[in-house]
């Protein structure tokens, strides 16, 4: 094998021109002969018993060339990539360079490679950072959530009002004909939750157990295409009306929902939880703002395949989320009126941002000569185990050593950026109107 040339193209593509010499080609022809000789019929010989020379004499000297090229190519290509120390990111596009002869053959392989990245500024940056405050109202809101989670529903014999839950049978009709997906039985619906089509729940306020009622609604324009904008009639039978039986907010409540004996202790712990959650969210927002600056500052010719691959990863993540919510992906597309082609198109811009971020992080890791020790990985496994409530060995089944190494190195790279940055005062004008990651109160838990 001889690499005749290694030419760089735009968008981090490389064209390798590689020659395979007579000895390598002849060895490949011999392999091709042994694999395929039973395919060729030679008078006087049983299938597979004729010699290579006899088959070549009868069918032509080039009879095994195509198969031999397929045999020789992988090793020759891999050796050429290794010799030129290329970091390839996808399969090559290959074409023969000239006509194969007994002296060998040549090929050109066009392959996308990991781009050369030039870092811009990644130290001495600045970004606004939110200050964290927790009010009494914040704590009471969290208490309310805990109360809601421990609230029972009890049947009542009265008219339904907002906040009640009605258990209903329903069937929908378009122009007097039932439509697919428009029927349900024993369905629990909280009035005011806005979980049904707009206008549906409001028309059930005032129903009594056993009452039948017809409801007129118009499906939203952004609904499933076959229903969007259409008028429909629903026949609804109310089986039950249920009201919330909320627990008293006192020391007994605190004992039931937490490890604490008094409501005062529970409130104090919730205040600490909210403060911690908001501080972590503010830290993440600060990190994101800094890392976006770093990503914007790199210089790199990014191959299209990296962006396309990331966009497809976004779609795969969406599919998993949809399945976790109990929908099929095709059903999701119908409900939203979207197509996979449109989703991929919309994913291009965020994919570019993510790829630039990944390239920036990798460049910092190389620039700073960062390493992940066994202690680093074990500490990260323990942290994930604590966060997820799983044991460390189970976590290791989900994250192998290479994945954990990448995670540790990424965190170290981000830490270098944040530790060498300045936090400025956060002002309302710093709010990103598009999709800012605001500090949130997190998910409530049944135990404080």
Segment 287-311 shows an average pLDDT of 96
Q: Based on the domain organization, do 328 and 370 belong to the same domain? A: yes
Q: Based on the domain organization, do 39 and 161 belong to the same domain? A: no
Q: Based on the domain organization, do 240 and 268 belong to the same domain? A: no
Enter the pTM of the model: 0.73
State how far the alpha carbon of 159 is from the alpha carbons of 163, 186, 212, 217, 286, in Å: 12, 18, 13, 21, 51
433 pLDDT exceeds 50?
A: no
Contact 441, 277 (CB under 8 A): yes
d(CA 75, CA 80): 9
Residue 349: which residues within 8 A CB-CB, separation 6 or more? none
Q: Of the candidates 62, 95, 112, which is a domain's last residue?
A: 112
Residue range 147-171, pLDDT digits in tens: 999 999 999 999 999 999 999 999 9
Question: Three-state DSSP class for 15?
Answer: strand
At CB < 8 A and 24+ separation, what contacts does 353-357 make?
353/292, 353/295, 354/310, 355/302, 355/306, 355/307, 355/310, 356/295, 356/296, 356/298, 356/300, 356/302, 357/291, 357/292, 357/294, 357/295
246 pLDDT exceeds 60?
A: yes
Confidence category of residue 318, pLDDT binned at 50, 70, 90: very high
Q: Based on the domain organization, do 106 and 7 belong to the same domain? A: yes
H/E stretch holding 94: strand 93-96
Contact 251, 263 (CB under 8 A): yes
257 located within any domain: no
Tell me, what CATH number does 206's domain have?
3.10.50.40
d(CA 350, CA 347): 6
268 located within any domain: yes
Q: What is 216-231 written as a DSSP string?
A: EEE--TTS-TTTTT-E
Q: Based on the domain organization, do 278 and 419 belong to the same domain? A: yes
183 Rama sector, left if φ>0, alpha if ψ -120 to 50, beta otherwise: beta
Q: What does the pLDDT read at residue 416?
A: 97
350 located within any domain: yes
State how far the alpha carbon of 411 is from the alpha carbons of 26, 219, 326, 373, in Å: 52, 47, 34, 13
Query: Comparing C-alpha atoms, which of 238, 195, 233, 199 is closest to residue 216?
Result: 233
Q: What does the pLDDT read at residue 436?
A: 43
Q: Based on the domain organization, do 240 and 274 belong to the same domain? A: no
Which position has the token pair 């009035």? 191
Question: Three-state DSSP class for 86?
Answer: coil
Number of structural domains found in the chain: 3
Confidence category of residue 337, pLDDT binned at 50, 70, 90: confident
Q: Which range of residues forms the domain containing residue 88?
A: 2-112
Q: Based on the domain organization, do 369 and 397 belong to the same domain? A: yes
d(CA 136, CA 81): 63
Q: How far from chain centre, in Å, is Cα 121?
A: 29
438 pLDDT exceeds 80?
A: no
Q: What does the pLDDT read at residue 225?
A: 80
H/E stretch holding 113: none
Q: Based on the domain organization, do 268 and 196 belong to the same domain? A: no
Query: Comparing C-alpha atoms, which of 13, 18, 6, 111 is closest to residue 72?
Result: 18
Q: Based on the domain organization, do 107 and 163 belong to the same domain? A: no
122 located within any domain: no
Q: Of the candidates 245, 278, 311, which is a domain's last residue?
A: 245
70 pLDDT exceeds 90?
A: yes
State how far the alpha carbon of 203 is from the alpha carbons of 197, 200, 212, 232, 326, in Å: 11, 6, 12, 14, 27
Q: How far from chain centre, in Å, is Cα 272?
A: 31
Residue 271: which residues within 8 A CB-CB, separation 6 or more? 134, 138, 139
Tell me, what CATH number does 8's domain have?
3.30.70.1050
146 located within any domain: no
271 located within any domain: yes
364 pLDDT exceeds 80?
A: yes
Segment 329-348 shows an average pLDDT of 89
Confidence category of residue 58, pLDDT binned at 50, 70, 90: very high
234 pLDDT exceeds 90?
A: yes
- 59-80 core/surface letters (b: 16 or more CB in 10 A; e: else): eeeebbbebbbebbbeebbebb
Q: What does the pLDDT read at residue 444?
A: 39
Q: Of the candidates 58, 90, 112, which is a domain's last residue?
A: 112
Q: Based on the domain organization, do 348 and 293 belong to the same domain? A: yes
Contact 295, 414 (CB under 8 A): no
Q: Based on the domain organization, do 292 and 402 belong to the same domain? A: yes
38 located within any domain: yes
Q: Based on the domain organization, do 182 and 294 belong to the same domain? A: no
Question: What integer best gives the mean pLDDT of the chain?
Answer: 92
185 located within any domain: yes
Query: Comparing C-alpha atoms, which of 308, 342, 253 is closest to residue 89?
Result: 308
Q: Which of 26-30, 209-213, 320-324 has the lowest mean pLDDT?
A: 320-324
Confidence category of residue 226, pLDDT binned at 50, 70, 90: confident
Q: What does the pLDDT read at residue 432?
A: 54
Angle at which helix 263-297 crosses helix 401-419, to 10 degrees, equals: 90
Hey, what are 313's tokens?
A: 């990863």
302 pLDDT exceeds 60?
A: yes
d(CA 410, CA 396): 18
Hey, what are 311's tokens?
A: 């966009």
């Amino acid at each position: 094998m001889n690499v005749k040339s290694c030419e760089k193209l735009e968008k981090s593509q490389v064209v390798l021109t590689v020659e395979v010499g007579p000895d390598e080609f002849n060895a490949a022809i011999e392999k091709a002969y042994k694999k395929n000789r039973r395919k060729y019929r030679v008078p006087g010989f049983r299938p597979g018993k004729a010699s290579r020379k006899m088959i070549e004499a009868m069918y032509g000297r080039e009879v095994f060339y195509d198969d031999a090229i397929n045999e020789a190519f992988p090793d020759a290509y891999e050796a050429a990539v290794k010799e030129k120390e290329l970091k390839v990111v996808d399969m090559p596009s290959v074409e023969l360079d000239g006509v194969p002869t007994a002296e060998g053959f040549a090929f050109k392989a066009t392959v996308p490679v990991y781009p050369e990245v030039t870092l811009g500024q990644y130290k001495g940056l600045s970004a606004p950072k939110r200050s964290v405050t927790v009010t009494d109202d914040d704590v009471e809101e969290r208490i309310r959530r805990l109360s809601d989670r421990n609230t029972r529903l009890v049947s009542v014999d009265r008219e339904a009002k907002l906040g009640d839950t009605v258990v209903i049978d329903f069937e929908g009709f378009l122009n007097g004909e039932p439509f697919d997906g428009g029927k349900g039985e024993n369905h629990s619906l909280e009035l005011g939750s806005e979980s049904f089509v707009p206008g549906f729940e409001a028309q059930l306020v005032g129903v009594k157990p056993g009452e039948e009622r017809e409801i007129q609604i118009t499906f939203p324009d952004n609904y499933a295409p076959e229903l969007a904008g259409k008028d429909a009639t629903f026949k609804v039978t109310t089986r039950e009306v249920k009201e919330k039986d909320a627990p008293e907010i006192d020391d007994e409540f605190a004992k039931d929902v937490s490890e604490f004996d008094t409501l005062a202790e529970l409130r104090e712990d919730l205040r600490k939880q909210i403060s911690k959650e908001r501080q972590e969210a503010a830290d993440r927002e600060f990190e994101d703002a800094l890392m976006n600056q770093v990503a914007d500052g790199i210089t790199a010719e990014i191959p299209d395949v990296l962006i396309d691959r990331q966009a497809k990863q976004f779609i795969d993540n969406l599919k998993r989320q949809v399945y976790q919510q109990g929908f099929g992906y095709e059903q999701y597309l119908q409900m939203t009126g979207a197509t996979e082609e449109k989703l991929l198109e919309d994913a291009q811009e965020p994919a570019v941002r993510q790829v630039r971020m990944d390239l920036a992080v990798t460049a910092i890791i190389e620039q700073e000569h960062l390493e992940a020790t066994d202690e680093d990985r074990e500490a990260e496994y323990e942290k994930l185990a604590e966060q997820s409530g799983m044991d460390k060995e189970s976590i290791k089944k989900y994250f192998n050593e290479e994945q954990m190494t990448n995670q540790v190195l990424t965190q170290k790279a981000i830490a270098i950026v944040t530790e060498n940055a300045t936090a400025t005062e956060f002002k309302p004008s710093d709010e990103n109107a598009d999709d800012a990651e605001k500090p949130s109160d997190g998910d409530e838990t049944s135990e404080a």
